[in-house]
């Protein structure tokens, strides 16, 4: 069972990293509950204590929503708020003052508490992150899942970046994570590329063509579609119905025959399949390495679909599945307000659902998985809904441990992409373009003057890939997004390069500071310093929220807020030139802490931060 929202919040507030210092939210919540018991003889729950950040227009750090407590106090919203404010101020030294706006109690937290936060963070080796301990929950994250008939494209980039990032975020919350890739290496689409190469390839190889293997095979997938459309057009022009022409065109019939031969282990077809898949795997590996993603285990549809087929046949024997007169096997889910789902075709061949049944069964047999996350586009929402119900129908108790991390489509300013027509944005080409753009913009701004060429090349790659990753991950996965390469690489605004530049600025300050005392002095905090420390304080909860919601954009946008606040502080106040030596030392420590959090948070997104820019 998954924890409720409030239980999850409580869990993430009480991770081991916070044991040495109780968070202000927990202090306030516990004290409000105690006050309700003593003053109103009321037993209230944590869920009724609703705390949120105070809006910038009002004075305060945290705001308590009073309305849920009024029935216990039997007083007006304002009177209830004032009574609670007085109680909190008397009970907690961390509360320095309060004010009441209608039914909202705005609470001002003391400078001493924020000083304590910085002292605590400075002592923590990996503040905000929790190492998996003995007995940690095991999560499995499946992402990428490419087809071996084409290279990776922009849509795959979003998939891979989301999967890799959520894996790191889950690990940062004390979970063990296994990152897996299911390669879709069989099926009619694979046979289309194979057949086209067989007919039109003239023995072309990656070596002879000097193309990456995945791109070479992808070219023949496009070639199949071009020749198939010609045949369909010729048939329709001859008077045949279009649907019949699409079903009976010679190329599609040959592709179906090839698939049947593949499933029958025909030696010639299998040899061609292994050869062309080998070309694709070499190409994929190069792209994954450039993208900075990795996997702990690879699964192949060609190895799991048979298990799925056997499980479906067992379900048929048990009477939980149905067989039609033509031999096809179906799951009737109409009693669950879903449709009937095909699991085996009339010729005995498998569908995607069959393969997913087999793969899920294999994984839960191999590992004690607490949650299995599928990173797959939202066009498959219904598929995963059906998968869970079919697994339940087959009697697998772990069916409710599946989670579909559904994400929206990525479009370019020019519109949608289509693989069969060869209009997709190739992942390698896009990464090349991002690095070229990073170089061009850096040169125009004079950001890297005086740097050696080798160091420049490293920084161009870090900026270009950082821009790409951040632009994609800052968007809530559920939303469709428009990717604009030039906008993503701007050094101002909510972009990866802006955050990277902030980190480089901090590292420059620390290099200039030289050696400094490790003891952080206590100083009177100004408003900007307090604003920054509030965000530092929120980092562990942000990491927890991102894991609970399976949403890297929570961390991405937090990183932007932190970088923006630091830059405002840096602009308004001297660090190394501060006249008071204690203030100078405090600000050096504050800068170091913020730099560490930026490096840590961007690392959860798979983004490198350069020491110099």
The pLDDT tens digits for 290-314 are: 999 999 999 999 988 889 999 999 9
Q: What is the pLDDT of residue 176?
A: 98
Q: Is residue 382 in some structural domain? A: no
Q: Is residue 393 in some structural domain? A: no
One domain, residues 562 and 467: yes
One domain, residues 195 and 58: no
- Residues whose CB falls within 8 Å of the CB of residue 208, separated by 6 or more in sequence, listed in order: none
Q: Which of 227, 261, 281 is the last residue of a domain?
A: 281
The answer to whether 342 and 351 are in contact (CB under 8 A) is yes
Q: What distance in Å separates the CA atoms of residue 336 and residue 315, rounded to the nearest whole number? A: 18
The answer to whether 189 and 221 are in contact (CB under 8 A) is yes
- Residues whose CB falls within 8 Å of the CB of residue 303, separated by 6 or more in sequence, listed in order: none
Q: Which range among 249-253, 312-316, 436-440 shows the weakest confidence by mean pLDDT?
A: 436-440
One domain, residues 565 and 435: yes
Q: What distance in Å separates the CA atoms of residue 376 and residue 180, rounded to the nearest whole number? A: 13
Band of pLDDT at residue 6, cut at 50, 70 and 90: very low
Kindly state the average pLDDT of the residues 467-473.
97
Q: What is the pLDDT of residue 335?
A: 95
Q: Which of 251, 281, 311 is the last residue of a domain?
A: 281
211: number of Cβ within 10 Å: 18
Q: What is the pLDDT of residue 191?
A: 97
**Sequence-ordered strand ranges (E) for 255-391:** 297-300, 322-323, 329-332, 340-344, 371-377
Report, in this order, helix, strand and coil percent for the chain, each rounded to 5.
60, 10, 30
Q: What is the pLDDT of residue 234?
A: 96
The answer to whether 590 and 574 are in contact (CB under 8 A) is no
- Residues whose CB falls within 8 Å of the CB of residue 528, separated by 6 or more in sequence, listed in order: 565, 568, 569, 572, 573
The answer to whether 166 and 403 are in contact (CB under 8 A) is no
CA 240 to chain CA centroid, Å, is 48
Kindly state the average pLDDT of the residues 6-32.
62
Q: Which domain holds residue 245?
A: 184-281
Q: What is the pLDDT of residue 418?
A: 47
Smallest CA-to-CA distance from 410 within 477, 497, 323, 339 is with: 477
Q: Is residue 275 in some structural domain? A: yes
One domain, residues 495 and 599: yes
One domain, residues 70 and 215: no
> Sign of dihedral through CA atoms 29, 32, 38, 40?
negative
One domain, residues 225 and 88: no
Q: What is the residue whose two structure tokens read 């929570």?
A: 554
Q: What is the pLDDT of residue 305?
A: 87
The answer to whether 349 and 302 are in contact (CB under 8 A) is no
Kindly state the average pLDDT of the residues 143-159.
94
Q: Is residue 366 in some structural domain? A: no
Q: What is the pLDDT of residue 550?
A: 98
| DSSP SS3 for 290 | helix
Q: What is the pLDDT of residue 487?
A: 86
Q: What is the residue whose two structure tokens read 């790409």?
A: 468
Evaluate if residue 373 carries a pLDDT over 50.
Answer: yes
Listed in sequence order, the DSSP H helices in 325-473 are 352-366, 381-393, 427-445, 453-473
Q: Is residue 270 in some structural domain? A: yes
Smallest CA-to-CA distance from 106 within 116, 96, 120 is with: 96
Q: What is the pLDDT of residue 183?
A: 96
| DSSP SS3 for 302 | helix
Half-sphere exposure of residue 146, counting CA atoms within 13 Å on the CB side? 25
Q: What is the pLDDT of residue 423?
A: 53
One domain, residues 192 and 62: no
Q: What is the pLDDT of residue 414?
A: 65
Kindly state the average pLDDT of the residues 307-333.
96
One domain, residues 60 and 200: no
Kindly state the average pLDDT of the residues 101-116.
95
Q: What percent of the chain has pLDDT over 90?
A: 86
Q: Which three-class secondary structure string do you get for 190-204?
A: HHHHHHHHHHHCCCC
> pLDDT per residue over 47-99, tens digit each?
999 999 999 899 999 999 999 999 999 999 999 999 999 999 999 999 999 99
Q: Enumerate the β-bridge partners of residue 182.
A: 299
Q: Is residue 536 in some structural domain? A: yes
Q: What's the structural domain count of the chain?
A: 3
Q: What is the pLDDT of residue 16?
A: 39
Q: Is residue 302 in some structural domain? A: no
Sheet with 340-344, edge to edge strand ranges: 322-323, 329-332, 340-344
Q: What distance in Å separates the CA atoms of residue 450 and residue 445, rounded to the nearest whole number? A: 13
Q: What distance in Å separates the CA atoms of residue 470 and residue 481, rounded to the nearest whole number? A: 13
One domain, residues 588 and 491: yes
The answer to whether 15 and 45 are in contact (CB under 8 A) is no
Smallest CA-to-CA distance from 320 within 391, 385, 394, 211 is with: 394
One domain, residues 218 and 83: no
Q: What is the pLDDT of residue 350?
A: 82
DSSP-assigned letter for residue 390: H
DSSP-assigned letter for residue 573: S
Over the chain, what is the mean pLDDT?
92
Residue 387 burial (10 A CB sphere; 0-12, 13-18, 19+) = buried
Query: Rounded to 5 degrees, what are φ and ψ at 297?
Result: -155, 140
Q: Which of 109, 135, 158 is the last residue of a domain?
A: 109
One domain, residues 102 and 16: yes
One domain, residues 220 and 78: no
Q: What is the residue whose two structure tokens read 């190469």?
A: 197
Q: Is residue 610 in some structural domain? A: no
CATH number for the domain spanning 36: value is 3.30.1360.70
Q: What distance in Å separates the CA atoms of residue 125 and residue 561, rounded to the nearest whole number? A: 23
């Amino acid at each position: 069972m998954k924890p409720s929202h409030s239980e999850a919040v409580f869990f993430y507030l009480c991770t081991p990293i916070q044991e040495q210092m109780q968070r202000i939210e927990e202090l306030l919540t516990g004290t409000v509950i105690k006050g309700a018991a003593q003053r109103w003889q009321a037993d209230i729950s944590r869920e009724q204590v609703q705390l949120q950040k105070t809006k910038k227009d009002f004075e305060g750090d945290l705001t308590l929503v009073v309305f849920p407590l009024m029935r216990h106090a039997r007083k007006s919203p304002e009177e209830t708020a004032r009574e609670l404010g007085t109680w909190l101020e008397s009970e907690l030294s961390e509360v320095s003052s309060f004010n009441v706006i209608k039914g909202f109690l705005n609470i001002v937290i003391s400078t001493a508490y924020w000083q304590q936060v910085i002292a605590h963070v400075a002592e923590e080796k990996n503040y905000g992150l929790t190492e998996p301990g003995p007995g940690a929950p095991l999560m499995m994250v499946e992402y990428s899942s490419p087809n071996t008939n084409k290279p990776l494209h922009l849509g795959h980039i979003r998939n891979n970046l989301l999967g890799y990032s959520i894996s790191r975020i889950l690990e940062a919350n004390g979970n063990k994570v296994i990152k897996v890739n299911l390669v879709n290496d069989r099926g009619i689409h694979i046979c289309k590329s194979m057949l086209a190469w067989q007919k039109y390839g003239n023995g072309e190889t990656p070596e002879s063509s000097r193309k990456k293997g995945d791109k070479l095979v992808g070219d023949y997938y496009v070639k199949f579609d071009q020749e198939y459309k010609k045949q369909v057009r010729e048939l329709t022009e001859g008077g045949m119905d279009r649907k019949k022409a699409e079903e009976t065109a010679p190329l599609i019939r040959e592709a179906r025959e090839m698939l049947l031969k593949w499933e029958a282990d025909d030696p010639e077809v299998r040899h061609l399949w292994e050869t062309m898949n080998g070309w694709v795997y070499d190409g994929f590996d190069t792209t994954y390495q450039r993208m900075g993603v990795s996997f702990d285990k690879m699964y192949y549809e060609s190895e799991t679909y048979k298990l799925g087929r056997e499980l479906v046949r067992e379900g048929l024997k048990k009477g939980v599945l149905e067989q039609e007169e033509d031999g096809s096997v179906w799951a009737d889910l109409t009693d669950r307000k879903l449709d009937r789902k095909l699991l085996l075709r009339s010729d005995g061949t498998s569908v995607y659902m069959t393969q997913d049944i087999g793969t899920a069964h294999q994984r839960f047999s191999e590992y004690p998985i607490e949650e299995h996350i599928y990173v797959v586009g939202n066009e498959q929402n219904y598929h995963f809904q059906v998968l869970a119900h079919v697994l339940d129908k087959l009697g697998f108790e772990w069916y409710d441990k599946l989670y579909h991390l559904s994400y929206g489509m990525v479009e370019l300013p020019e519109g949608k992409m289509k693989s069969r027509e060869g209009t997709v944005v190739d992942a390698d080409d896009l990464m090349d373009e991002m690095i070229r753009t990073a170089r061009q913009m850096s040169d125009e701004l004079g950001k890297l003057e005086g740097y050696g060429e080798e160091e420049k090349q490293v920084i161009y790659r870090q900026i270009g890939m950082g821009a790409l990753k951040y632009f994609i991950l800052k968007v809530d996965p559920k939303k469709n997004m428009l990717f604009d390469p030039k906008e993503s690489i701007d050094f101002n605004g909510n972009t990866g390069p802006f955050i990277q530049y902030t980190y480089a600025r901090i590292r420059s300050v620390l290099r200039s500071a030289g050696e400094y005392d490790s003891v952080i002095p206590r100083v009177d905090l100004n408003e900007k310093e307090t604003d920054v420390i509030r965000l530092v304080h929120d980092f562990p909860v942000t990491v927890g929220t991102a894991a609970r919601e399976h949403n890297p954009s929570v961390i991405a946008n937090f990183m932007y807020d932190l970088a923006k606040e630091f830059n405002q502080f840096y602009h308004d106040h001297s660090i190394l030139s501060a006249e008071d030596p204690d203030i100078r030392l405090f600000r050096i420590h504050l800068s170091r802490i913020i730099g560490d959090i930026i490096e840590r948070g961007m690392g959860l997104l798979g983004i490198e931060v350069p020491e110099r820019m």
